[in-house]
Amino acid sequence: MFFERFYPTEYYESAYIIDYEDLYKKGYRGIIYDLDNTLVPHGAPADEKALKLMEDLRKIGYSIFFLSNNKEGRVKSFNENIGAKYLYKAAKPKPAGYLKAAQMMGLKPSEVLVVGDQLFTDIWGANMAGMRTCLVVPIDRSTDEIQIVIKRKLEKVILNSYLKKNDIIS
């Protein structure tokens, strides 16, 4: 089916409730995060919750990477107190950025999780790169830019198909 290329491996209410320890036991060693509406509201700095998550993930043994279509200033300022590797203007959903991120972490695509809030960029691109994908509910849709508002309407059709196929809704 056409829609399946956009389906995530898993779907969560938040990036903060994923069982990262279990996924580490399953062989995942790196996590690629989108920033806006995945970890913090659009344009917000890294808050205490995000900083604690990154610290906890490093204690588990993960490499952290930020992959964003934003300009460098946005990604660099978010990352200031985290110190992870990153790519900006990543041209998501093209898989090249995802593959480069895995390479920069010294990992195979099969060892990398991608966590993001958009099907047409975060999830589709990671799927094309052969990575496990975790879609999360956007933190704050009121801050979405107009092009994202339009995409979310189209994503809703695909997300409903995914939820129905996985018996999450009937």
Residue in 16, 91, 90, 21 with CA at minimum distance from that of residue 58: 21
Residue in 90, 60, 57 with CA at minimum distance from that of residue 75: 90
Domain span at residue 96 reads: 2-165
User: Between 146 and 153, where is the model more confident?
Assistant: 153
User: Can you give the pLDDT at residue 1?
Assistant: 67
Is 118 inside any structural domain? yes
Residue in 102, 103, 104, 122 with CA at minimum distance from that of residue 112: 102
- Has residue 170 got a pLDDT over 60? no
| Domain containing residue 20: CATH number | 3.40.50.1000
- Has residue 169 got a pLDDT over 70? no
pLDDT tens per residue across span 15-24: 999 999 999 9
In this prediction the pTM is 0.91
Considering its fold, how many domains does the chain have in total? Answer: 1
Distance between CA atoms of residues 137 and 130, nearest Å: 22
Is 170 inside any structural domain? no
